[in-house]
């Protein structure tokens, strides 16, 4: 049975930097969960970060691929370099996806870990830009198809998984 790796915060777990969840209520997700096909996962906690934690962003004009390549950092609001935790979490995500048979992932948008279409600017100024996070980059490199919440209908039509 193919499974779906899902950002833990979308499943109602209070693991975001501010201690909140970002619960996604959708009939497809509820059905997949009842079928035992959902694998909730938070890469930032898996990488060793705490709840709550300072919000972090990938450096301006860089994305998850650049972080994986060692060419960009993830920096928290106080200027702390949290790159190592993000890389560790991304590696864990790939490991879990492979060991649990997750061919697809449904990840929270805009996160420096889980974002798949856009990110925050990297200046901690609330502005958004096109880009994707570190875990998304690692999963894609491992052949996992990553979807954002606004793409869940497309995901439900993708019968391959
Ligand atoms: Fe949610 Fe991903 Fe951030 Fe964890 S790292 S809180 S799963 S968006």
Judged against a pLDDT cut of 80, whether residue 67 lies above it is answered with yes
- Report how many domains make up the chain: 1
Q: Is the distance from the beta carbon of residue 44 to the nearest atom of ligand 1 less than 6 Å?
A: yes
Over residues 113-123, the mean pLDDT reads 98
The pLDDT of residue 157: 78
Atom of ligand 1 nearest to the CA of 15: 6
Longest dimension (CA), the chain: 44
Pairing of strands 38-41, 56-58: unpaired
Q: Is the distance from the beta carbon of residue 122 to the nearest atom of ligand 1 less than 6 Å?
A: no
Q: Is the distance from the beta carbon of residue 93 to the nearest atom of ligand 1 less than 6 Å?
A: no
pLDDT digits (tens, 9 = 90+) for 126-146: 999 999 999 999 999 999 999
The pLDDT of residue 2: 87
Over residues 79-88, the mean pLDDT reads 98
Atom of ligand 1 nearest to the CA of 9: 1
Q: What global pTM score does this model have?
A: 0.97
Q: Is the distance from the beta carbon of residue 106 to the nearest atom of ligand 1 less than 6 Å?
A: no
Judged against a pLDDT cut of 90, whether residue 65 lies above it is answered with yes
pLDDT band at 156 (very low <50, low <70, confident <90, very high): confident
The pLDDT of residue 73: 98
Q: What is the DSSP string of 76-91?
A: ETTS-B-HHHHHHHHH
Q: What is the DSSP-derived secondary structure letter of residue 116?
A: S
Q: Which two tokens stand for residue 150?
A: 């606004």
Instruction: Give the residue numbers spanning the domain of 33.
Output: 3-159
Judged against a pLDDT cut of 70, whether residue 161 lies above it is answered with no
CA 116, 120, 69, 98: dihedral to nearest 10 degrees?
-30
Are the beta carbons of 145 and 161 closer than 8 angstroms?
yes
Give nearest CA residue, ligand 1 atom 3.
16
Residue in this structure with the two tokens 């938070």, named with its chain if needed: 42
Residue in this structure with the two tokens 């694998």, named with its chain if needed: 39
Over residues 48-54, the mean pLDDT reads 98
CA distances (Å), origin 144, targets 47, 126, 134: 19, 29, 13
């Amino acid at each position: 049975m193919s499974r779906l790796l899902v950002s833990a915060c979308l499943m109602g777990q209070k693991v975001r930097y501010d201690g909140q969840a970002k619960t996604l209520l959708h009939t497809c997700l509820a059905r997949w969960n009842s079928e035992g096909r959902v694998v909730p996962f938070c890469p930032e906690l898996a990488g060793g970060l705490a709840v709550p934690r300072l919000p972090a962003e990938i450096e301006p004009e860089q994305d998850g691929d650049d972080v994986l390549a060692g060419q960009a950092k993830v920096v928290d609001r106080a200027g702390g370099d949290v790159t190592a935790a993000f890389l560790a979490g991304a590696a864990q995500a790939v490991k879990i996806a492979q060991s649990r048979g997750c061919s697809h992932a449904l990840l929270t948008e805009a996160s420096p870990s889980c974002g798949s279409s856009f990110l925050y600017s990297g200046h901690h100024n609330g502005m958004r830009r096109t880009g994707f996070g570190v875990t998304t980059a690692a999963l894609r490199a491992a052949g996992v198809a990553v979807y954002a919440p606004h793409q869940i209908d497309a995901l439900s039509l993708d019968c391959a998984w």
